[in-house]
Copies of this chain bind each other. A is one copy, B any other.
């Protein structure tokens, strides 16, 4: 390994006495964020005022940060733009993909997609007044469901519930063979696993930056468009910052050449600055090293559970090639167990109906944290209370 994980860990503030296994939901605070914000507030906004848009490089964040993310997911320079939210970027990608395949009417997705993606697709279908259909199948059935009715295959690469990972390259190839276009959601991929958008010939991809990329709560989304497609895309959400000449204030929209046409309105510079500071740690990292450590830590966790926690069952695939960077276990009283773990300083999370999720984030988690979490998990699971009838039923949390 060339990545120094003691160094990467030093980039983060982690609370005393906490084992944080929820970096797949909200990454922890990068220590560099505060200094960056001091600069943006005091020196830039405070002193340069409106001139900071040009003089402090605010206009350049959207593409500059996109390139920083691009290195982690196999995207060419200038093929990613950052802004808005994942949901908005998904809408843009899906609308553009449908535009490129106008004779077909099916959007194919799966039940492992994050629901917001499905909701955004529903909204787009309704707004389009065309006879489009959202077809949602089980994750295992996606490959077989790709036929010549499918306009767009819209999938989240790594299932937020189980960590199950789709075979991006194979599914993209299958989609292309069937004449369909792909939209990949990388919410649980970027910074979690090596992704090669170029090698996979992905058409569109979107993602968020507040999970494994540690960009802060609600940090901006991003969108990737394959370089050979971007200038054929006419954005559905066409705001002034995607205009060829935004400060000409023309009455008619003319998209700028390249990825910046996927920009919409004015992005929060404060959010962008924190994200940019958070991404600095990734300049020290090789994704292959992150992946190797993630798999080793995950195996360590699974081995412990196999030996000591017979009460719970693994919901994630055992095959590392089929898995992202989280482990999920099923237990009827999963919600209560996660709460008990949090009380002991081990933070994972719970997804209805019975899934306990633990994110494996090697930048700041090592063997000691995994061992501590495992011990706590065993202690909690060994309590007699879970045998009581009220804990034999799943608790639905809404």
B129 close to A129 (CB less than 8 A): yes
A70 contacts partner chain B, Cβ-Cβ < 8 Å: no
Instruction: Tell me the A44-97 residues at the B interface (CB within 8 Å).
Output: 45-47, 49-53, 58, 84-88, 91, 95
**A334: which B residues are within 8 A, CB to CB?**
none
Give the residue of B28, B52, B240, B347 whose beta carbon is less than 8 angstroms from that of A119.
B240
A236 close to B396 (CB less than 8 A): no
Query: A88-B265, A91-B237, A126-B236 are contacts. A119–B253 as well, Cβ < 8 Å?
Result: yes
A100 contacts partner chain B, Cβ-Cβ < 8 Å: no
A127 close to B128 (CB less than 8 A): yes
**A18: which B residues are within 8 A, CB to CB?**
49
A128 close to B126 (CB less than 8 A): no
Give the residue of B50, B270, B398 whose beta carbon is less than 8 angstroms from that of A216.
B270
Q: Taking the nearest CB of chain B, how far is it from the CB of A37, in angstroms? A: 6
A118 contacts partner chain B, Cβ-Cβ < 8 Å: yes
Query: A123-B235, A218-B269, A274-B270 are contacts. A347–B50 as well, Cβ < 8 Å?
Result: yes
Of chain B, the residue at the smallest CB distance from A350 is B247
A259 contacts partner chain B, Cβ-Cβ < 8 Å: no
Q: Taking the nearest CB of chain B, how far is it from the CB of A274, in angstroms? A: 6
Instruction: Tell me the A148-193 residues at the B interface (CB within 8 Å).
Output: none
A127 close to B95 (CB less than 8 A): yes
A252 to B349, CA, bound (A): 23
A265 to B187, CA, bound (A): 13
A397 to B245, CA, bound (A): 10
A50 close to B29 (CB less than 8 A): no
A105 contacts partner chain B, Cβ-Cβ < 8 Å: no
A68 to B58, CA, bound (A): 28
A283 contacts partner chain B, Cβ-Cβ < 8 Å: no
A1 contacts partner chain B, Cβ-Cβ < 8 Å: no
A303 contacts partner chain B, Cβ-Cβ < 8 Å: no
A20 to B52, CA, bound (A): 14
> Assuming A84-B85, A271-B271, what are 9 further A-B pairs, CB within 8 angstroms?
A15-B46, A84-B84, A85-B266, A88-B88, A115-B243, A116-B239, A119-B239, A120-B238, A123-B237
What are 9 A-B pairs at a CB distance below 8 A? A15-B47, A15-B49, A34-B41, A53-B217, A87-B264, A88-B237, A126-B236, A218-B269, A249-B351
